[in-house]
Structure 1
Amino acid sequence: MTSGKTVPEYQLYIHPQDVMELRKDIWIDDPLPAVLKINKKKLDIDFAYRGSHIRGFEKKSYHIIFYKPKTYLRAKEVHLNAEFKDISHIRNKLSLDFFSEIGCLSPESRFIFLKINGKNEGLYLELESVDEYFLAKRNLAKGAIFYAVDGDANFSLMSDLDKGVKQSLEFGYEKKCGSEEADFYLQDLIIKINTISKLEFEKEIIQYLNVEQYLRWLSGVVLTQNYDGFVHNYALYRSDQTGLFEIIPWDYDATWGRDVNGKDMPEDYVRIEGFNTLTARLLAVPSFRRRYKELLLEILANQYTAEFLRPKIETMYHLIRPYVARDQYVKDRIELFEKEPDIIIDFIQARSRYIKSQLSHLD
């Protein structure tokens, strides 16, 4: 989605008293009023900190809700991610663009440079919100969208958090949009995933889940090696038209060889079979397992190659380098930043070799 040779500048103006309130309590979720100027256009907005553990970082991430006008570029809200732990600053965007390349629904993103009350705040990644506006922009049918917000979004009846039986099948999810009836569809999906017999699973699950699309997503999360992506960092969309659920990636900075803390992650850290209850049940079906293998082979030959990804990586790197150098929070890491494109390419090649060595597991 990045276009041109410059990064847009966002100027955010917040009342000093509100700034003080935020600094006193980083866990305030109630949005505060502010003014955002983009290309001389004035937007009245509500804003708040976003994320969980990332709120403790010196460089904050923000949730922006447009108030007047009610939308901007056909969006009601956007997320400004600091990408503080990703030395490269490009892993999230590279991942989300990659998912689009392999045929998955995926949020758009672009780099922006943020100023707050006239002071440089630094380079950010603007992420499209997955909501009813996301659907409308793509001419998709209306439906319900649920965000996976913690480890209980594991498609299981058992909790990943306390290791007991879930008290509610909606644990791990927050509904972004959709009718009250949609809650029951989500519950029904999870029940069916866990109770359909092995004999009936192949023909029954396709009445609830877009299996082809899920296997494409599985290919993407395995290849980018997002360890948390199987029980977190995704959204579910249930189309009112088809009645089927689809899965959408979200927040993919811990990928391409680094973990959530920015540490090196070896190329064999995530197995080819992935994780979570739904994935396990699907891959237990020979026809689904064969299709997953076909998709991996197709993507490994086309989109998941150094030749295909290097130009994208280098374009992003050259676009944002001047802005990284101006970012007070990360400019001291510029020498590390400059090494990241090669580190990512090396990971792609190593991960590709590893996945190819594991393909026989899917026979």
Structure 2
Amino acid sequence: MKHTKAAFLPLSLLALSLLGCGGTNDDTDTTTGTLPTTTLKINEIVASAADGGNDWIELYALADIADLSQYSIVDDNTDHSPQTLPAVALSAGEFIVIYAIDESDTPAEGQYYVTFKLGSDDAVTLYHNGIQTDQLDWQEGEAAQGYSYGLYTDGSGSAQTLTPTPGAVNQLPDSTAVITDTKTNFDAALRINEIVAKDAAGGQDWIEFYVTGDTAVYLGDYQVADENGERVNLPDITLGAGSFFRVYATTDDLADSPAVGFKLGASDQVSLYLEDDLVDQLSWKTGAALAGYSYGRYPDGSDTLATLTPTAGAANSVASHGPLVINEVVASAFDDGPDWIELYNNSDSPIALNQYQLIDSSDIDPVTLPDVTLAAGEYLVIYATDENPGSYYVPFKLGKEDELSLLLNNETVDYLSWQASDVSAGYSYGLVTDGSWQKNTLAITQGTSNSLPAVYNKTTVESIYFEIDTDQWQDMLDNALDEEYHPTAVTYQGVTLDSVAIRTKGNSSLDSVYRSGGERFSFNIDVNEYVSGQKLLGMKKFVLNNMFNDPSYMREYIAYELMEQMGIATPEHAYVNVYVNGELKGLYLLVEFVNEEFIAKHFSNTQGDLYKPDGVGSDLQWINDDFSSYSGVELKTNEDSSDNGAFINFVREMAFGDALSVIEQDSVLRYMAVSVALSNLDSYHGALAHNYYLYEQDGVFSMLPWDLNESFGSFSMGCNRADIRGLYIDEPTDGALADKPLVANVFADSNNLTTYHGYLQQLIDGPLASANFAARVADIDARIGQHVAADPTAFYSYSQYKTNQTSTVSNFYGLTSFINYRVNNISQQLSGALPSSGTGRGYCSN
């Protein structure tokens, strides 16, 4: 990597704004120069100073640093090279401020500086000896004028909008600032419903509001602002329930037409305020609200966001993508061949391509497409190369981080952008299905239908490779209970990423392995911990589970498979051999993380709150209306914008109101059918009430599966019944059924109970039927058996693995014998030959 030395002026000790004292030396490896990734952090930035002054970057030392010039820093402009930091020392707990100015500007006396400025949507990346160690990434509106963006608390907290404190302890905005609490107002009376940021006919931008409730709304009580944050009063009118109202977004004088004094950008944000309360917000990125499209909520007033066909003053309508779309690109050909762009006619009519032009992020002029008519449903591949390949081409190459714009009449009508990890060699990037709006890394399908890569390969056992500094690896093993991330490189299916985070994970399995002195931990892998937005074949995070408490190696795999077959949104999963520094560590289960990517794959509404309950409040019993009282319920999305109003409403309604109105009942019925069939008490209906997720959509909560390794009756903690294989189907709880209100409320409805019984019957007649289940176990064995035999850190022997497919091993039921017993037991409960419930105290207490 090329490094450019920045021009730094001397800085006095007084100007360093040093805070804190003491600390210990870092663990520098003098032979390699390797430092812990957390030694120096990008702590705070200002990208638009309130007084019109310079941008700046604040760095914070977590340990003593003898020479800061080992580090370099750069923004996300691909034309910029990392610039070396000054040759000064920092002690643990000290700050240094680096100003970000144009090359032509003159810095103030005594200031350190770099010669690039910061944008409103930008990132700053920190390198140590050429290796990336930290990154701070912010989006439109997060570092607005007068605010900073950074870590709260210093050096370790989550990144969020702050009050600028250069060289001093980071501070949240003061109490007069707006609290972003859009989720408290999931039932807000007024919502931002639709925007147009580029009118197809050259008209004005506009914003549409919608009255969601049953009562009228006085619009004059509200204010609106774009990403710059300056609020504008809305007109003094009253809107009736269910009505729409459009205001234009322009600085032009429109006489009697209602307008706000700002325009909307291709990537922007609109915020709605009621007094000092932020009650709604709508954000979009480039490509979501192009010329001829609008962007907003579908259906009207909901949380679900989509690119729309403009319908000012009327019900929203989802837009078809196209007619001509950028469907797929290759920007890093595996064989060093030319880059290429695939266009697709996503319409029912032929398209004359010479009406259109293409341009990337380079400085060249737009290139007119060839004089070709593309039939409906057809593809055209255009090579991107500076040499004529003898086929259709544009005279520019595609960068590893680049963008493409498709122009019609000088307006952008389609757009595709990507990062380096999106376009790894051997893969393409584009629309998940031809002509859709969703994008991902793809298997290369030039000129044919797009296809996702087989990341979770069900036909073979893949291998995943980690290259990690030996001291870092040993530190993770020695301090496994801390569950702290360590830097590593990872290679999977031909893709290598150098800056990835790995940590130990688990509860009883983590503690057990640690106390035994072993190293067969389960792991969390965070692909974008150090590189914002980085993905490994579409994965930002994934899990490697170690087969703890499972001699068969199949319990979790089959349980997830059954959840999928029952139509439940389920994490993808596959067997992999895990290698660390070239050494086989064992056969693991690769499991997809439940996060924003997972939600986007399974739900049209991607704006909801995702929770992982485990601890106080995870049984979902009402405590009070203070979310902090539910300390075991962790919010996993919208952390900066939600104050958990939908969750509080959820538990309140289950306790005192209309419970079924806040539960996506079918997800609970399907989840419970599988979990109960497998006597899985290491779940919501067990003693610990954990190992599940909740996802909220417009105030309604769905149940999602997680961590199923103790299925097939492996978990009986607190259950006094001798045989967990007899678990009641209608009272399948450890403890009183009423103490698990999510299940109790759903099962209390007779129609739901009938549906649930039907799902159980579907399971025992289908995948759990004796012959079907035995065949499935044999099929998995044929795939993984040789890898189990070669597993050097297995918890059980190969002989125990084979035995446990049919018979009990170390108190773990044999898979087929368990299912045969359980299917017969469920059949008798369904027929009434055996009781399906007890006295209400739960199966384990009866």
Which residue in the other structure is 2:826 paired with? 355
Greater C-alpha Rg: 2
1:22 shift after superposition = 1.7
Seen in structure 2, the aligned counterparts of structure 1 residues 294 and 182 have a Cα distance that, compared at 3 Å, is: farther
In the other structure, the counterpart of 1:235 is 693
Q: Is the Cα contact below 8 Å between 2:551 and 2:804 reproduced in 1?
A: yes
**600, 615, 618: which is aligned to 1:150?**
615
Looking at structure 2, the residues matched to 332 and 215 of structure 1 have their Cα atoms a distance apart, in angstroms, of 35
Question: For residues 145-166 of structure 1, what are the alpha-carbon distances to aligned partners after superposition, in whole Å with 9 as ceiling and x for unaligned?
Answer: 111223641121369xxxxx99
How far 1:290 sits from its partner (Å)? 2.5
How far residue 10 of structure 1 moved from its aligned partner, in angstroms, is 1.0
Q: Determine if contact 1:272/1:358 at 8 Å carries over to the other structure.
A: no
- Residues 331 and 244 (structure 1 numbering): CA distance in 2 closer, same or farther, change over 3 Å? closer
- Alignment root-mean-square deviation, CA: 2.6
Q: Report if the CA contact (8 A) 2:616-2:633 is conserved.
A: no
8 Å CA contact retained: 2:617, 2:631: yes
41-50 vs 105-114, which moves further: 41-50
1:190 paired to 2:648 = no
How much does 1:270 deviate?
A: 5.6
Q: Counterparts of 1:4-23 in structure 2 under 5 Å? A: 4=459, 6-23=460-477
Which residue identity is paired with 1:348?
A: I
Question: Could you tell me how far 1:169 is from its partner in structure 2?
Answer: 4.9
Q: Does 1:107 align with 2:563?
A: no
Distance 1:137 1:182, change over 3 A: farther
SS at 2:578's partner residue?
A: strand
Q: What are the Cα deviations for residues 241-269 of structure 1, in whole angstroms up to 9, with x where unaligned?
A: xx4211011010111242389xx964114
Instruction: Say if 1:225 and 1:106 are closer, same or farther in 2 by CA, change over 3 A.
Output: same
Partner in structure 2 of residue 253 of structure 1: 709
1:5-29 deviation digits (Å, cap 9, x = unpaired): x311111111112123223321223
Q: Give the equivalent residue in structure 2 for 1:178.
A: 638
Aligned to 2:150: none
Match of 1:95 among 549, 559, 567: 559
The code of the aligned residue for 1:178 comes to N
Task: Specify the code of the residue in structure 2 equivalent to 1:298.
Answer: Q
1:345 matched to which residue of 2?
A: 816
Task: Render the CA deviation track for 1:200-259: whole Å, top value 9, x for unaligned.
Answer: xxxx3332111122111111110111102121111111124xx42110110101112423
SS at match of 1:347: helix
Return closer, same or farther for 1:358/1:30 CA change in 2, 3 Å cut-off.
same
SS at match of 1:111: strand
Task: Judge conservation of contact 1:225–1:256 (CA < 8 Å) in 2.
Answer: yes
Shift of 1:181: 3.1
Is the 2:575–2:590 contact (alpha carbons within 8 Å) kept by the matching residues of 1? yes
Distance change in 2, residues 1:38/1:290 (3 Å): closer
What corresponds to 2:248 in structure 1? none
2:826 partner letter: I
Q: Secondary structure at the match of 1:100?
A: helix
Alignment partners' CA distance in 2, 1:23 and 1:304: 39
Q: Within the alignment, does 1:66 sit opposite 2:527 as a pair?
A: yes
Q: 2:754 aligns with which of 276, 290, 303?
A: 290
1:52 aligns with 2:507: yes
Partner residue in 2 for 1:26: 480
Taking the aligned partners of 2:660 and 2:743, their CA distance within structure 1 comes to 14
Contact 2:522–2:546 (Cα < 8 Å) also in 1: yes
Q: CA separation in 2, counterparts of 1:279 and 1:39? A: 41
Q: Which one-letter code corresponds to 2:561 in the other structure?
A: D
8 Å CA contact 2:614–2:632 kept in 1: the answer is yes
CA contact under 8 A between 1:65 and 1:78: conserved in structure 2?
Answer: yes
Q: Distance in 1 between matches of 2:750 and 2:796?
A: 51
How big is each residue's C-alpha offset from its partner over 1:308-351, in whole Å with a ceiling of 9 and x where there is no partner?
33332222112111111111122861111012222211111111
Q: Structure 1 residues 145-154 or 81-90, which shifts more?
A: 145-154
Identity over aligned pairs, percent: 20
CA distance in 2, matches of 1:96, 1:182: 32
Which one has the bigger strand percentage?
2
Counterpart residue identity of residue 190, structure 1? V
Higher RCO (CA-CA < 8 Å; seq separation 6+): 1
Q: How far apart are residue 83 of structure 1 and its match?
A: 1.0
Instruction: Name the residue aligned to 2:732.
Output: 274
Letter in 1 for 2:778: E
Aligned to 2:725, what secondary structure does the other structure show? Answer: coil
Segment drifting more, 150-159 vs 291-300: 150-159
Q: How far apart in 2 are the matches of 1:270 and 1:246?
A: 23
TM-score by structure 2 length?
0.39
Residues 122-149 of structure 1: CA deviation (Å, up to 9, x unaligned)? 0000110011100223353202211122
Q: Structure 1, residues 104-134: CA drift from partner, whole Å, max 9, x if none? A: 1111100000111121100000110011100
Give the aligned partner of residue 200 of structure 1.
none
Structure with higher helix content? 1
More moved, 292-301 vs 206-215: 292-301
Task: Write the letter of the residue equivalent to 1:307.
Answer: A
SS at match of 2:609: strand
The one-letter code sitting in structure 1 at the alignment partner of 2:618 is: A
Query: Counterparts of 1:228 and 1:152 in 2: how far apart (Å)?
Result: 16
Matched, 1:222 2:682: no
**Aligned mates of 2:724, 2:743 — CA distance in 1:** 22
C-alpha separation in 2, matches of 1:225 and 1:331? 23
Separation in structure 2 between the aligned mates of residue 97 and residue 209 of structure 1, nearest angstrom: 24
Bigger shift: 270-279 or 180-189?
270-279
Which runs of no fewer than 5 residues in structure 2 stay unpaired? 1-455, 734-739, 807-813, 838-846
Q: Is the 8 A contact 2:728 2:836 kept in 1?
A: no
CA contact (8 A) 2:465 2:580 kept: yes
Q: In 1, distance between residues paired with 2:478 and 2:821? A: 45
Amino acid of the structure 1 residue aligned with 2:732: G
Counterpart secondary structure, 1:238: strand
CA-CA distance at 1:358 after TM superposition: 2.0
**Structure 1 residue identity aligned to 2:631:** F
Shift of 1:41: 2.1
- Structure 2: distance between partners of 1:265 and 1:78: 35
- The number of residue pairs the alignment matches comes to 346
Amino acid in structure 1 at the alignment position of 2:478: K
